Structure 1
Amino acid sequence: MTITPIKQKHITLEEFLQKDYIDEAPAYEYINNEVIRKPMPQGKHSQIQYKICEIINQLKERIAYALPELRCTFSNRSIVPDIAIFYWERIPLDDEGEIANQFNSYPDLTIEILSPNQKPTKVIDNILFCLEYGTQVGWLIDTDEKMIMVFQPEKALKIYHDEEILPIINNLDLELTPNQIFSWLKL
């Protein structure tokens, strides 16, 4: 499925956030004054998404928390990374001390999993946008090519294969390789 803009008159970010359809599955994003629907996750995408969240959220040290398909709204964009990882102390809480519904900030690590027929340019644009506003690391996982592109501020794009250890956010004690991640596709 390709990502297609919704044909409608120009709306503001505030107007977009008031629309009741934006969190239907698959979610809608607001990028460069356009409303864009994400592709529906498929099997490989869902399996990798689930496993990464599970591994990070089960670490003994509560350094960071991984949330799938979380809307992150900041600097005139509202995006829904496949996985948004936030340092524990950056997770917004509501008045009752519970996790907030709205995250008005960039993730510390953003992970996108390329869907079949999805053009990587829009996904890369979202990752670069996050890096511009404070994200430490962005991954673009390509299950067809069995490789992971890693984006970091002020560093050249690097493609990781096989047993190379992927960069992750500071202080998170976790070593993952592309081979480990892609091995989760075999049940």
Structure 2
Amino acid sequence: CTFGGRSIVPDVAVFRTERIPRDHDGQVANSFNLHPDWTIEILSPKQNQTKVIRNILHCLDNGTKMGWLLDPEESLIFVYSADKSVQLFENLEVVLPVPEFAEAVQLKVGEIFDWLKE
């Protein structure tokens, strides 16, 4: 994703259908020169947390509705809202907040980390 003078590659970038760029044949474009609607980062042991947070904040500054930062080592998830407020989730049974456009999605903290173990 290239926008706001930077290029970032989140682990997961979610776009509403109507915002997915298409080429002249109607196929999904090879490059996305816009912010994701929802960005999800999974922190790896050797990854710099500050750099990852900076990328999430860059997304939020440019129109992204929500960012998640998953820390598998600590089994916790930071949720960054569009207003840059941050919530910490570590109770495995709690349903995580999602952007309004994805409100039908119901994911528990524990489900997310179970997927990462598979």
Band of TM-score, shorter chain: over 0.9
Q: 1:186 and 1:115, CA in 2 relative to 1: closer, same or farther beyond 3 A?
A: closer
Of 123, 127, 130, the residue aligned with 2:56 is 127
Query: In the TM superposition, what are the counterparts of 1:30-49 in structure 2 within 5 Å?
Result: none
Map of 2:101 onto structure 1? 171
Between Structure 1 and Structure 2, whose CA radius of gyration is higher? 1
Render the CA deviation track for 1:85-140: whole Å, top value 9, x for unaligned.
00000000000000001100000000000011212000000000100110000000
Query: What is the identity percentage for the equivalent residue pairs of Structure 1 and Structure 2?
Result: 51
Q: C-alpha root-mean-square deviation of aligned residues, in Å?
A: 1.2
Aligned partners of 2:60 and 2:84 also within 8 Å: no
Aligned partners of 1:84 and 1:110 also within 8 Å: yes
Instruction: Provide structure 2 residue ranges, at least 5 long, that are not aligned to the other structure.
Output: none
Shift of 1:186: 4.3
Q: 1:137 and 1:171, CA in 2 relative to 1: closer, same or farther beyond 3 A?
A: same
Of 73, 76, 85, the residue aligned with 1:156 is 85
Query: How many residues matched?
Result: 116
Question: Which runs of 4 or more aligned residues in structure 1 lie more than 4 Å from their structure 2 counterparts after TM superposition?
Answer: none
Render the CA deviation track for 1:135-158: whole Å, top value 9, x for unaligned.
000000000000000001225211
Instruction: Provide structure 1 residue ranges, at least 5 long, that are not aligned to the other structure.
Output: 1-71
Map of 1:79 onto structure 2? 8
Q: Structure 1 length normalisation: TM-score? A: 0.60
